Structure 1
Amino acid sequence: MLHTGIQWEYLPQELGFGSGMTCWRRLATGNEAGVWDQLRMLLEKLRSADKPTGPGR
């Protein structure tokens, strides 16, 4: 949805996520709750943990 530009009402209900409006509300609620910021921080931690550190690495 965020990358293709498809309108929410055209989201296929066969995917099992509910209506386009339901998906939009879930995205908005998660955004207001700071979910994306938390995911971004987790991703940064995971990326930094994967980087080799110290001698011989």
Structure 2
Amino acid sequence: MQVLGFLGYFLGYLLWALFYVFQNFGIAIIVFTVVIKLVLFPFSIKQQKSMAGT
């Protein structure tokens, strides 16, 4: 399985799990977005510090 295929499968499973918990796709998408933002937050901070140093 390719890397992007695995990533898509995992993210799709996460979205369905959130839908199972909240029983509403709108809320599931909002929570999914917040989770992704929290996961990527350390990388964003590192990038901002790197750009400020130049």
Q: Does the TM-score normalized on the shorter chain lie above 0.5?
A: no
Decide which structure has the larger Cα Rg and report it.
1
- The answer to which structure, 1 or 2, has the higher relative contact order (CA under 8 A, 6+ apart) is 2
